[in-house]
Amino acid sequence: SQQGEEDPQALSIQEGENATMNCSYKTSINNLQWYRQNSGRGLVHLILIRSNEREKHSGRLRVTLDTSKKSSSLLITASRAADTASYFCVPQRGAGSYQLTFGKGTKLSVIP
């Protein structure tokens, strides 16, 4: 399995603003997943984007994937204080790679 590298390591924004987090990885993938972890709700799966997809939406979340650049981004629009959490990208090679390898994540703080 491989680890994604999130950037920036920390991000602080005002409530209502948009937050963008980036992820880079090294080898070819089958899909890439984003997870969120905060103290109240634990580690939660947010969205999965497959290698043949370029963009995916889920509520206020928008994920893009550029396999040629081996990168992904997560955009949270109209942020809320409850979005304060650490966000992790997890690249997956597919069959046989059931292990999720988490990096250090991006720590997002949304200030009310």
Partner 1 sequence: ETGVTQTPRHLVMGMTNKKSLKCEQHLGHNAMYWYKQSAKKPLELMFVYSLEERVENNSVPSRFSPECPNSSHLFLHLHTLQPEDSALYLCASSQGAGGGETQYFGPGTRLLVL
CA separation for the pair 4, 35 (Å, rounded): 12
Helix (H, G, I), strand (E, B) or coil at 30: coil
Q: Is 26 in the site for partner 1 (CB under 8 A)?
A: no
Distance of CA 91 to the CA centre of its chain: 10
Q: Is 98 in the site for partner 1 (CB under 8 A)?
A: yes
Of 75, 61, 81, the closest CA to residue 16 belongs to 81
Residue 5 or 15: the one with the smaller Cβ distance to partner 1 is: 5
Binding-site residue total for partner 1 (CB under 8 A)? Answer: 23
Among 19, 65, 85, 103, binds partner 1 (CB under 8 A): 103
Residues that bind partner 1 (CB under 8 A): 3, 30-31, 33, 41-45, 48, 92-104
